[in-house]
Chain A
Amino acid sequence: MSADPYVLRVNGRDHEVPDAHLGESLLWVLRERLGLPGSKNACEEGECGSCSVQVDGELVCSCLVLAASAVGREVITIEGLAPDGELADVQRAFVEAGAVQCGFCTPGLLMAVDTLLDADPSPDELTVREAISGNLCRCTGYGRILAAVEIAADLRREAS
């Protein structure tokens, strides 16, 4: 069934979604209708975390958000982490630590780490592990990701 046209606020901008179907997920609308393919589509059941975005500041799987139900919410995607084209602290940290291999999980992980560091600027390792427990990476074995989170935390603390 078609949905009435609606507007989504993504990365600080209003986007018209004119001819979507009611059952489309936020992930689908971001990628296929709004041209924001940074959020990745893998499992479509909330298992892998590669589609993670922030909705009103909370980390969620965009594949499990009904897009039309997010009207009036503030959605931040990976594209919104570095709006001016300059890498965000978490992105620099992942590059520096070599925490990116195939890169598919990276956008979701960056959103998870960004959310974590907003809430807890100095997380201990167990806190970090729990915070990224919903983001699957099949390349790195997570060691360099954990190292990247430490670097990102340092960068953010230095900047604040």
Chain B
Amino acid sequence: MTIARTLDDACAALAEHPQARLLAGGTDLMVGVNRGQVGLDHVVVLDRVDELRAWHRTGDDLLLGAGLTYADLGRGDLPGLLPALAQAARTVGSPQIRNAGTLGGNLATASPAGDTLPVLAALDATVLLRSATGSRELPLAGFVTGVKQNALEPDELIEAVRVPVLDGPQEFLKVGTRNAMVISVVSLALVVDRGGRGVRVGLGSVAPVPLRAAEAEAHLADHVGWDDGSPPAPDAVDRFVELVAGAARPIDDHRGSADYRRHAVGVLARRALHRAFPGGDR
């Protein structure tokens, strides 16, 4: 086992032990270990790497360390800068889970239901990867490659996530069987970019990977009163909802049917839009 103190430590340990498992918050990995489904040969422990638990602003972007916990995402200035990400983080698990689980872990696990993923999709986030031999930056869609599949090489770790600071309201909504400790049946993030005169919508739990509702976004851009902030007309909202539901590619499973998910994601789209542009018809 290696308890890394710096990124360089962690990368060196991974280079030496390419079969090693990375341990951040443990909220996914340890479940598999406890069930005997995951064997541990070497573990690189990341939770004492200060560089990973920090964030900073560079111009109009934020670099979020992969070791920020869900609780961290809801503290200090971050909820003001990234409201949808803070909202998503607050819906994860329980206080115990939010104190341990990390942004990088949510990405690496790459579950279709990962709560931060639709937000990162809507923000056009990129993922910074690092190894002993170099670093690279991938768009989210290049990083999450399938159900619980990611683009990490055996000697790589997630260093940070790059997201823009946008001018405009943001919403994250999720449907589950209760408010706490719940895996999302459907989730949706809507972020408004007043500067770019656009609304961006990320969808979770409705496809193997987080999706964008590109057609719905293109439609809506023409129907928001960007100069006075006026909401889109009711028929434009209806069309937006239809296009969001149409973008979903859900399956039937034990948490919900595909039909239900398509319906629910439309409901969330309408609700999020109404919150972002209050005053319109809902």
A112 touches B95 (CB 8 A): yes
* A34 interface hit (Cβ, 8 Å): no
Shortest CB distance B128–A (Å): 24
Q: Identify A59's interface contact among B23, B27, B30, B96, CB under 8 A.
A: B96
Q: Identify A130's interface contact among B30, B95, B100, CB under 8 A.
A: B95
A45 / chain B contacts, CB cutoff of 8 Å: 31, 34-35
B68-102 residues with Cβ-Cβ distance < 8 A to A are 93-97, 99-100
B99 / chain A contacts, CB cutoff of 8 Å: 58-60
A134 / chain B contacts, CB cutoff of 8 Å: 93-97, 180-181
B31 touches A44 (CB 8 A): yes
B43 / chain A contacts, CB cutoff of 8 Å: 22, 66, 68-69
- Please measure, in the bound complex, the distance between the C-alpha atom of A44 and the C-alpha atom of B26, giving whole angstroms: 12
* A155 interface hit (Cβ, 8 Å): no
Shortest CB distance A53–B (Å): 9
* A131 interface hit (Cβ, 8 Å): yes
- Please measure, in the bound complex, the distance between the C-alpha atom of A59 and the C-alpha atom of B69, giving whole angstroms: 13
* A82 interface hit (Cβ, 8 Å): no
Shortest CB distance A124–B (Å): 16
- Please measure, in the bound complex, the distance between the C-alpha atom of A47 and the C-alpha atom of B95, giving whole angstroms: 11
Contacts A23-B40, A25-B34, A66-B30; A46 near B1 (Cβ below 8 A)? no
Contacts A64-B100, A69-B1, A71-B3; A23 near B33 (Cβ below 8 A)? yes
Q: Identify A61's interface contact among B1, B33, B39, B97, CB under 8 A.
A: B97
Shortest CB distance A33–B (Å): 16
A130 touches B96 (CB 8 A): no
- Please measure, in the bound complex, the distance between the C-alpha atom of A134 and the C-alpha atom of B23, giving whole angstroms: 22
6 A-B pairs with CB atoms under 8 Å apart are A23-B39, A45-B31, A59-B95, A64-B27, A133-B95, A134-B180
